[in-house]
Amino acid sequence: MKIVNAFVTLVVVLLAVSGAIQAVTLEVTDGNSTCIKAELSAVFSITYNASNSTRTALVTLPDSASVDPGSSSCGSAGSSPWLVAVFGSGHALGLSFTSNGSVYSVTNLTLQYNLSDATVFPEANSSDVVTVVSASVGIWAPVNSTYRCLSSATFRLDTANLTFSNMRLQAYMSGNDLSPNESVCLADQTTTPAPPRPTPSTTPVPVPTPAGPPERGFYNVTQNNTVCLLAHMGLQLNVTYTDTQNKTVQDVMNINPDHTSSSGSCEANSASLVLTQEQSTILTFNFTLNSTSKRYHLSGVSLVANWPDLPANFSAGNSSLNYLRSSFGHSYMCNAEQTLVVLPTFSINTFKLQVQPFGVTTTQFASAEECQIDQDQMLIPIIVGAALSGLVLIVLIAYLIGRKRSHAGYQTI
């Protein structure tokens, strides 16, 4: 079991692609030709005034974000190319480009957010639509090449911080697809897939918040007024980070079901469950179904957190996981505690877990396939039982033989 765990960890480390939040593809077209194309993940952390305090909202650019054809443009003599993606109720992200013929760059980033959206900005004491801008972004690449930056990069836009990751983008395109010619950002050139953390100056500090076992929550995803994903579990997040004193700190945090809302999506071969805890934690689970083998598994997990003790937003994910394997038409169950290693710096402990991401037909779980640990634990009483009944049988046989022998004994005498 230990060896298997170590192997899984190793595979995860090898496959880990940093910061996979939710890659969104955006395209600006003019007639049939594409002039700007971007694949990226974006997370915003926005500070706003609530009734009597200042709060921070965390927003991920959702899959449903779409290019606004009205504001976006491929550029003309008087205007520069502009990509504007709209999402939610009145929120928008804009990237404006310029080129001198040999190099193109992002001139500015704009973020528009709507404080009336109470799901994102609870208790905001304003209902304004706010626009913030960042100039001198430093994203540039030679014309006819794709700018690639898988590492995350954060930009300050007045009241908001914008973090991009898994980014591939090109403007002034000559074809309709991203050029295979990539211009790799500095951060990607200097980091290997699993960047080693800076060596701590002191020994690791023990867990600051002894969490205790988490409460079990019932979560579901509804699409078209029909429940399409079910989950019942206790979750504990384990995050390792370097604090401002360069100390390595472990933060163990329980998900509290009472303060957590669930959302997500259900497609034919993929499903996601997004748990949002009070604007401070966004935890996403992605499940994948192999339609040939009719088996599914947990393929990706990502986390964005802005807990008070974290020096900066923690954002991490991995989209090449292979946990919670089960078959279509069944749920997956594991009563024993399980640790899902997402990255060396981020793992999830699950307690009394049952999930069904596909083939949900009622609000009840379908019959469960249990994890190996549960089966092994169930095996112990069976083995003990079998051993006991074996012992009883042996005693019985010995007694019978003994009785026969003694009978025979009497007769010979």
Ligand X SMILES: *[C@@H]1O[C@H](CO)[C@@H](O)[C@H](O)[C@H]1NC(C)=O
Compute the Cα dihedral for 142, 316, 232, 4 and give only its sign.
positive
134 belongs to the binding site for ligand X (CB under 6 A): no
Q: Determine the interface stretch with ligand X among 9-17, 62-70, 121-129, 270-278 (rule: CB under 6 A).
A: 121-129
According to CB under 6 A, which one of 56, 66, 134, 144 is a site residue for ligand X? 144
Q: How far is the CB of 199 from ligand X (least distance, A)?
A: 6
- With respect to ligand X, which residue has the nearer C-beta, 14 or 379? 14
- With respect to ligand X, which residue has the nearer C-beta, 51 or 192? 51
151 belongs to the binding site for ligand X (CB under 6 A): no
Tokens matching residue 194: 């699993």
| DSSP states of 281-294 | EEEEEEEEEETTTT
- With respect to ligand X, which residue has the nearer C-beta, 23 or 129? 129
According to CB under 6 A, which one of 9, 29, 56, 98 is a site residue for ligand X? 98
Q: Of all residues in this chain, which one has the CB nearest to ligand X in the complex?
A: 90
Q: How far is the CB of 124 from ligand X (least distance, A)?
A: 9
Longest dimension (CA), the chain: 125
Is the distance from CB of 264 to CB of 283 less than 8 angstroms? no
22 belongs to the binding site for ligand X (CB under 6 A): no
Region 59-88 residues binding ligand X, contact defined as CB under 6 A: 80
CB atoms near residue 351 (< 10 Å): 18
Is the distance from CB of 38 to CB of 61 less than 8 angstroms? no
According to CB under 6 A, which one of 47, 209, 222, 361 is a site residue for ligand X? 47
Q: How far is the CB of 334 from ligand X (least distance, A)?
A: 16
CA neighbours closer than 13 Å in the CB half-sphere of residue 302: 24
363 belongs to the binding site for ligand X (CB under 6 A): no
- With respect to ligand X, which residue has the nearer C-beta, 349 or 356? 349
48 belongs to the binding site for ligand X (CB under 6 A): yes
DSSP secondary structure code for residue 22 in this structure: -
Q: How far is the CB of 365 from ligand X (least distance, A)?
A: 21
Compute CA 381 distance to the chain's CA centroid, rounded to the nearest angstrom.
37
Contacts of 200 (CB under 8 A, 6+ apart): 242, 246, 247, 248
According to CB under 6 A, which one of 22, 41, 107, 161 is a site residue for ligand X? 107
According to CB under 6 A, which one of 154, 159, 256, 260 is a site residue for ligand X? 159
According to CB under 6 A, which one of 2, 3, 4, 51 is a site residue for ligand X? 51
145 belongs to the binding site for ligand X (CB under 6 A): no
According to CB under 6 A, which one of 31, 78, 180, 381 is a site residue for ligand X? 31
Is the distance from CB of 318 to CB of 342 less than 8 angstroms? yes
209 belongs to the binding site for ligand X (CB under 6 A): no
Region 173-192 residues binding ligand X, contact defined as CB under 6 A: 174
Counting DSSP H helices and E strands in the chain, the numbers are 3, 26
Instruction: Tell me the number of residues near ligand X by CB under 6 A.
Output: 43
Tokens matching residue 110: 């704009």
Q: How far is the CB of 190 from ligand X (least distance, A)?
A: 13
Binding mask 370-399 for ligand X (x = CB under 6 A): ------------------------------
Region 210-269 residues binding ligand X, contact defined as CB under 6 A: 224, 238, 240, 246, 250, 252
Task: Say which residue the tokens 């867990």 belong to.
Answer: 207
Compute CA 293 distance to the chain's CA centroid, rounded to the nearest angstrom.
24
CA-to-CA dists, residue 89 to 4, 64, 85, 115, 302, angstroms? 46, 12, 12, 10, 24
Q: How far is the CB of 246 from ligand X (least distance, A)?
A: 4
Contacts of 162 (CB under 8 A, 6+ apart): 42, 43, 44, 93, 109, 111, 134, 154, 155
From the list 278, 266, 281, the residue with the least C-alpha distance to 231 is 266
CA-to-CA dists, residue 278 to 51, 59, 256, angstroms? 16, 12, 10
Q: How far is the CB of 377 from ligand X (least distance, A)?
A: 20
| DSSP states of 229-254 | EEEEEEEEEEEEEE-TTS-EEEEEEE
CA-to-CA dists, residue 350 to 4, 9, 232, 301, angstroms? 18, 17, 10, 13
Binding site for ligand X (CB under 6 A): 31-32, 47-49, 51-52, 80, 89-90, 96, 98, 100-103, 107-108, 110, 114, 116-117, 125-126, 129, 133, 143-144, 159, 174, 198-199, 224, 238, 240, 246, 250, 252, 290, 292-293, 347, 349
